[in-house]
Amino acid sequence: MEATTTTVPVTELKKLIFSIAKQELPICIRYRSLGQLWYPNFLRVIDVQESKRILFHDQTRNKIVSLPDLSMIIQFELDGRFNSLEPNCHYQVADSLFFNDQ
């Protein structure tokens, strides 16, 4: 089955990440950063720091992955359903200004 692509504003991605971390939900995320390939494994969100840094746990490799800034994510995928977001669907991240121009 092929993954579909849907656009999500960066503000919604931020809410998603904070909700997963705060509620300690059993949902993992896989992402692609600007200029990079997809991270190969799904990651559990373990902490969102004041400096915007996000800490993930890669359970497959048993290591901590640090992302300096949420704005670096240009695409993401979840391994479970969260609100209206479906698992195994590629979501494109767009600046919120993109949605205001529509």
pLDDT per residue rounded down to tens, the chain (102 residues): 455 568 999 889 999 999 999 999 999 999 999 999 999 999 999 998 877 889 999 999 999 999 998 889 999 999 999 988 999 999 999 885 554 444
Handedness of CA 31, 34, 38, 43 (dihedral sign): negative
Helix (H) or strand (E) holding 7: strand 5-9
Domain boundaries in the chain?
5-96
Q: How far is CA 3 from CA 28, 45, 47, in A?
A: 17, 22, 28
DSSP assigned state of 17: H
- Here the tokens at position 81 are 């359903």
Look up the CATH number of domain 5-96. Answer: 2.30.30
d(CA 26, CA 14): 17
